[in-house]
Amino acid sequence: MPLPPFEAPRLKLRRARYHIGDLTEQVRAYLRRSPLFLQIEADPTFAGGKKWVAHVREEVPPEFSTVIGDVIHNLRAALDLLACEVVRANHSNDNGVYFPFAESAIGLPAMIKKRHMDRAKPAVSILITKLAPYKGGNAALRAIHDLDIMDKHQALIPLSDMVGAPDIAGIPRIKHPARMGPIRNGAAFALPAAHSHLPVGLWANGEFTLRFDSLHLSVSGLKAVPLGGGEVIPTLVSLAKFVEDIIEQFVRIA
């Protein structure tokens, strides 16, 4: 039995959100295991002669990358299914129809034709142009496309960052103005002033989060990762909401 109009992209979106929920629970479980902690060590090169040193008990599970890839792929597939829906809504053939992504604003009109989106109503092409699915245009939309391609060549394994100083009895947790990371075994950090009296050898858990790497290694060298540096779960949630909004915009004009 055929699906109702626009149900197919919505199903892909729901699947992406299912994977986001799954990943959220996996990340919470990982952080609850206290995979990272910090210990004070003596070091005359640091202010006060001491530093916090990171110790990694458990690396970020590489399996997280497979769930991230599933989220991105379902969001990207939702856009292609959406493209087919709006073309069919105009009583046109959807063979070879894909959501268009271009290298630049100048190249977008040609890509709209190449992906056969000109078979849809003229309002569809106008909306696609407003969405700016090209490099230098809409960063979130372009990221869905680029990350989907990247995931086919390299695992999107998140990195860990410290976002709060160690939680020590009697001392309020200090929020860092910026994330500190990526956390590697042996990485050193200066002690906040509130910790300057603490003894060498003391250890404590910090407050950590997972983020997308800013760079990835390709055949041509290091390249920037779309939305690199963004915290993993909030970034994926935001991308899913963005795709939902796009679907509803097209539904209104189809």
Structure tokens at 126: 């106008």
pLDDT band for 215, please (50, 70, 90 cuts).
low
pTM, two decimals, is 0.90
Report which of 45, 232, 70 is spatially closest to residue 151, judged by C-alpha positions: 70
* Higher pLDDT, residue 181 or 221: 181
Mean pLDDT of 226-246: 93
- Please give the mean pLDDT across all residues of the chain: 90
Among the ranges given (89-103, 180-194, 203-217), the one the predictor scored with the smallest mean pLDDT:
203-217
Which residues make beta-bridge pairs with 191?
Answer: none
Mean pLDDT on 16-28: 97
pLDDT tens digit sequence for 120-139 = 999 999 999 999 999 999 99
> What one-character-per-residue DSSP string does 97-139 give?
-----BSSTTTHHHHHHHTTGGGS-HHHHHHHHHH--BTTS-H
Q: Does the pLDDT of residue 219 top 50, yes or no?
A: no
Per-residue b or e along 54-69, where b marks 16 or more CB atoms closer than 10 Å to that residue's CB: beeeeebbeebbebbb
